[in-house]
Amino acid sequence: MPKLRHLAVPALVAGALVVGTAGSSFAADIYTASSSNSCGAAYFYDDGDTFKILDVCSDGKGVRLQYTNPTTGNPSTSDTKIHVDYTGGYTGWSISNAYIYDTDMNEAACFYFRVGHVDNGSYVSGSYGGWNLACAAN
């Protein structure tokens, strides 16, 4: 059964990431990111400028969201970085269990964000996933 679990976690992450950017003139855009081992995930909702952070592995580590300073110019991964740690424990893939981090960004401000792990208050080296571009609602 452990082999199936190793296959199931990446499949769930892939399914969750398919959400990617779901947009229309009537719906908010949702952006996603996951950690390098898929144990942490974050969703950014442009309508309300809110992040929802998930810890999907019971490994005792927390999840670190890192994002660049939102700018109305061209964002860059070298911009000033802000991080938020969620250390409240396992949430699973349930958005209703997610840690909610509410921000207040300028309209149309864009930034990059990624997700990694934190252990005892320190970033776990090599755990960040790739950078993802997101923009606040107009």
Secondary structure class of 71 (helix, strand, coil): strand
Quickly name the fold that domain 2-135 has.
Immunoglobulin-like (2.60.40)
Q: What is the pLDDT of residue 8?
A: 42
Q: What are the pLDDT tens digits along the chain (138 aa)?
A: 444 434 344 444 444 443 444 433 445 799 999 999 999 999 999 999 999 999 999 999 999 999 999 999 899 999 999 999 999 999 999 999 999 999 999 999 999 999 999 999 999 999 999 999 999 987
Q: What is the pLDDT of residue 138?
A: 76
Kindly list the domain boundaries of the chain, sorted by start residue: 2-135
Residue that is written with structure tokens 């149309």 in the block = 108
